[in-house]
Amino acid sequence: MSPTPTPLPTKIGILIFPGFQLLDYAGPLDALNILSYTYPLSLYTIASSLSPVSTQTSAGTERGSAFAQCVMPTHTFETAPRDLDVVIVPGGLGMRGEGMEERMKGVGEWLEGMGREDGEAVGGIRWILTVCTGSEILARTGVLDGRRATTNKRAFNEVCLFLRFFFFLFFLAFPLSLALLSSFYVFLRLFLQ
């Protein structure tokens, strides 16, 4: 008797926080939007509150810039479904610098709670995908300890600061577009089989 095939993921959650990188959010979602034309998907945008979340960073603010976009979450950490198949974690300057603790409040705890509980998998999460420096957010939770992952080469040393027993494969000279596509290659390949 053949083993039952693993069902393809349908519930996609994406985490956002103040100062997230818009491309890290929009790039993967654009690819998934196209996939949703032929395969049923549900999207859940998750943040600490239901208020719009801005991409504004302290770097822009310090230079007098008021140029940012806002994304409206659909769920909070408390109301997000526990049976997500995939969670996407974007990077961004908001996860660093002065005020980082306030901007990232609850993010690590939510990721830890969604991934493991008393050593057992929680809910239906099968994959946690990070984009660029989103791997640093995940590394801070300890979820990446002992696992292989990718990150932005410029953030390699910062990400390694949060790891104990971790080996990195990282991009040496790929353009950003290839880095985004590479991050989702395995995920999308599952859908296209």
Domains and CATH numbers, the chain: 11-191 (3.40.50.880)
56-90 confidence digits (pLDDT tens): 988 888 899 889 999 999 999 999 998 999 999 99
Q: Do the Cβ atoms of 54 and 16 come closer than 8 Å?
A: no
Catalytic residue among 16, 132, 149, 163: 132
Q: Tally Cβ neighbours within 10 Å of residue 130.
A: 25
* Mean pLDDT of the 117-138 span: 72
Q: Is-catalytic flag, 160?
A: no
- Range with the lowest mean pLDDT among 122-126, 127-131, 156-160? 156-160
Mean pLDDT (whole number) for 119-125? 56
The reported pTM is: 0.76
